[in-house]
Chains A and B, each alone.
Chain A
Amino acid sequence: MNKIKVLLIEDDRSISNFITATMDREGYKIMHALNGREGLSLSTSFCPNVILLDLGLPDMDGLDVLQKLRSWSDVPVIIISARTKEQEKVSALDLGADDYITKPFGTGELMARIRTSLRHSHAQAPGHVYKALDLEIDFEKRLIRLRGEEIHLTQIEYQLLTLLAENSGRVLTYSYIMNAIWGPYMDNNNQILRVNMANIRRKLEQNPAQPQYVFTEIGVGYRMRENENGGTV
């Protein structure tokens, strides 16, 4: 049987212990590298389906490892980082990481991230329908329905929401979103993005301060609720 292969690049023993045990339980095949160099060489020989990369490695800068990986592979990379290092996360995401998980984390969160990134690594045909709770987005018909009723979004708001929905479950950085919607020549001020997201929130959420569909990751970007229609892994 073809097991999903996970490569863990992590130097801390007790963290790698529980991650390895969790992966085994889930039926994944896991390999473990203790430093960047070992991780890079294992990534070529082991050909993993997803890589878990800790940014605090002893021999190399985790971002370096990421850049080298990305120079020849599109394999999903989830970085493991510390809580208050937003800039580090943003840099990693902009360098090509697919998602991040913040230390300390539980097994539930870890598995959710892995499943999401595996799902997205399979090419998505655009003829999809996004469904989560009471929200339905038909990408083909360009229709958005909330509790069965069609809601009206502006052109920009629609583009924003579909971008997030197509990447549901994954975090998208402010700069990635700005680039995708407004192009690369906008200045660094992301106020226009925040205002548009606020408008979307007021149209979708019952309480904008307790969102159920679009979640903020302060300092990093936005993440949309996982699509219930996603393919199984």
Chain B
Amino acid sequence: MFRSFSDKKSPRKSFRLKPPFTRHAISILICAACMLCATLASFLYQHIVPDNHANVALFYILALVIIARWTVGYGYGIACTLFSVIAINYLFTYPYYKLNFTLTGYPITFLLMSGITLILCTMTSHMTIQSEMIAEREKRLAEAEMEKMRANLLRAISHDLRTPLTGIIGNSSLFLESQNDLSSTEQRTIMTNIYEDSNWLLNMVENLLSVTRIQGDSLSINTTEEPVEEVVGEALEKLKKRYPDAAIRVRIPEEFLMIPMDAVLIEQVTINLLENAIVHSGSILPIDFIVEDHPEHVSFIVRDYGKGLSEEKLQNLFETGTYNNSRSSDSRKGMGIGLSICKTIITAHHGTLSGRNHADGAEFCFTLPKAEALASEK
């Protein structure tokens, strides 16, 4: 469900009406311009080919068509029809420069012109209403999709939260009930389990909080320019607290790089990806974390040397709610939530996130655009 959002490069251009004042101002301008053009054209024409009243009328009708199509409502169309009829009579019909409505066929002319104008105005109104309706429907669809995503995320997270909580409640009630019967090693094991489960819960909560930092439908975030090395450094510090024995080889470019980002979110992504590599690779070989400088973006690569990603996982890497059936020892700490949150965060940053297998294990890579690249995108 994230695909529909993340694969479009630019935000959907939605149909939006300009404010009423602007629309009316434009309408008046169009009326004035068209009537002026029609009148001038008719003068010119009369000079060249006198006595062809039909074409004079047609100049005005063309002007009226344009007005009906591009002005607001019926008012302008009717007003200009009236103006046209009077103009034709006064300027281009014998007796010239005099109003004379008694000539034969005149009422018919007026009726026909009015009819054309009215029908065209109606068509234009319908078109506008239709476009508004489509925009409304699109907006509602987008909101529904967002809601569905949130509901799925909440469901999946509740599932993931219950597991460590079960461990905590179970272990602590065991301790409370049988403290005197437990050896000190057993007591230590129980407490360690509670501690680890709690830390896992904390990580979940921090992931959840990350999602709330991303605003609503537009997936917008508040970014400031931050030094890449500082964000990476802090993320690694935090990770070290939870996995003090983890071996991570870090490489960053020589140059000082600053990128617009929400540092808390990008730290979350870094921690999620590194944690996945530590926990799910099934190997204690050092993990590579490489930052590369490119002309338009900076890429961050997490490479582990473990068992890699299964075909099944590769298919729906970033979807929530799909749980792989293979039960490994740490499967309860599902990879799913962390990755889909990473995807949301990176998408909100207008970056990319991908996962694949390399020769000796799994590799995840996310990119963040540089400030200049973002500016030119606008």
Q: Is A233 an interface residue (CB 8 A)?
A: no
B225's partner among A86, A191, A197 (CB-CB below 8 A) is: A191
Decide yes or no whether B229 CB sits under 8 A from chain A.
Answer: yes
Known: A194-B227, A194-B258, A218-B263. A84 touches B233 (CB 8 A): no
Asked if A207 contacts B258 (CB within 8 A), the reply is no
Given contact pairs A207-B250, A210-B250, A218-B226, A84 touches B209 in the complex (Cβ within 8 A): yes
> Which A residues lie at the B interface, using CB under 8 A?
83-84, 86, 104, 191, 194-195, 197-199, 201, 207-211, 215-219
Residue B232 lies at the interface, judged by CB distance under 8 Å to chain A: yes
> Complex formed: what's the CA distance from A107 to B264 in Å?
24
Count chain A CB atoms within 10 A of each CB in B213, B258, B267, B291 and give the residue with the most: B258
Question: Is B236 at the interface (CB under 8 A from chain A)?
Answer: yes
Question: Separation in Å of the B248 CB from the closest CB of chain A?
Answer: 8
CB distance from B84 to the nearest CB of A (A): 61
Q: Which B235-288 residues have C-beta < 8 A from chain A?
A: 236-237, 250-252, 256, 258, 263-264, 267
How many angstroms between the C-alpha atoms of A219 and B263 in the bound complex? Answer: 8
Q: CA separation between A192 and B258, bound complex, in Å?
A: 12
Whether A83 lies near B233 (C-beta < 8 A) is no
Contacts of A201 in B (CB 8 A): 229
Q: Does B234 contact A (CB under 8 A)?
A: yes
Give the shortest distance, in Å, between A201 (CB) and chain B (any CB): 7
Q: Are B233 and A219 in contact (CB under 8 A)?
A: no
Q: Kindly list 7 other residue pairs between chains A and B, CB separation below 8 angstroms, not including A194-B227, A208-B252, A216-B227.
A: A83-B206, A198-B229, A199-B256, A209-B229, A209-B250, A209-B291, A210-B250
Chain B residue numbers with a CB within 8 Å of A209 are 229, 232-233, 236, 250-252, 291
Residues of A within 8 A of B233 (CB): 208-211, 215-216
Q: Would you call A198 and B256 a contact (CB within 8 A)?
A: yes
Q: B237 is contacted by which of A197, A215, A219 (Cβ under 8 Å)?
A: A215
Check B296 for interface membership: any CB of A closer than 8 A. Answer: no
- The docked-state distance in angstroms from the alpha carbon of A199 to that of B230 is 12
Which residues in B have their C-beta under 8 angstroms from that of A195?
256
Residues of A close to B49: CB separation below 8 A: none
A-contacting residues, B176-215, CB 8 Å: 202, 206, 209, 213
Contacts of B232 in A (CB 8 A): 209
Once bound together, how far apart are the Cα atoms of A84 and B252, in whole Å?
26
From known contacts A83-B209, A84-B209, A209-B250, infer whether A218 and B258 are also in contact, taking CB-CB under 8 Å: no
| A-side contacts of B225, CB under 8 Å | 191
* Smallest CB-CB A-B distances: 8 pairs: A216-B230, A218-B263, A198-B256, A209-B252, A209-B232, A209-B250, A208-B229, A209-B229
| Contact (Cβ within 8 A) B264 A219 | yes
B209 CB contacts on chain A under 8 angstroms: 83-84
15 pairs of residues in contact across A and B, judged by CB atoms under 8 Å: A83-B209, A86-B264, A104-B202, A194-B258, A197-B230, A198-B227, A198-B229, A201-B229, A209-B252, A215-B234, A215-B237, A216-B230, A216-B231, A216-B234, A218-B263
**A215 neighbours in B (Cβ, 8 Å):** 233-234, 237
CA distance A55 to B284 in the complex (A): 41
From A86, A210, A211, name the one whose CB has the most chain B CB atoms within 10 angstroms: A210
The answer to whether residues A218 and B252 also contact, given A194-B227, A209-B229, A209-B236 and a CB cut-off of 8 A, is no
Please measure, in the bound complex, the distance between the C-alpha atom of A84 and the C-alpha atom of B267, giving whole angstroms. 12
Does A218 contact B229, Cβ atoms closer than 8 Å? Answer: no
Chain A minimum-CB-distance residue to B289: A209
B contact residues around A86 at 8 Å (CB): 264
Q: Which residue of A lies closest to B201 (CB)?
A: A104
Bound-state Cα–Cα, A195 to B252, Å? 16
- Inter-chain CA distance A84–B226, complex, in Å, is 16
Q: Per a CB cutoff under 8 Å, which of B213, B234, B252 touches A217?
A: B234
- Distance in angstroms from B18 CB to nearest chain A CB is 36
B258 / chain A contacts, CB cutoff of 8 Å: 191, 194
Nearest CB of B to A108, in Å: 10
Within the assembled complex, what's the spacing in Å between the Cα atoms of A208 and B254?
9
Distance to closest chain A CB from B15 (angstroms): 37
In the bound complex, how far is the Cα of B255 from the Cα of A209, in angstroms? 12
Q: How far, in angstroms, from A83 to B234 measured CA to CA in the complex?
A: 14
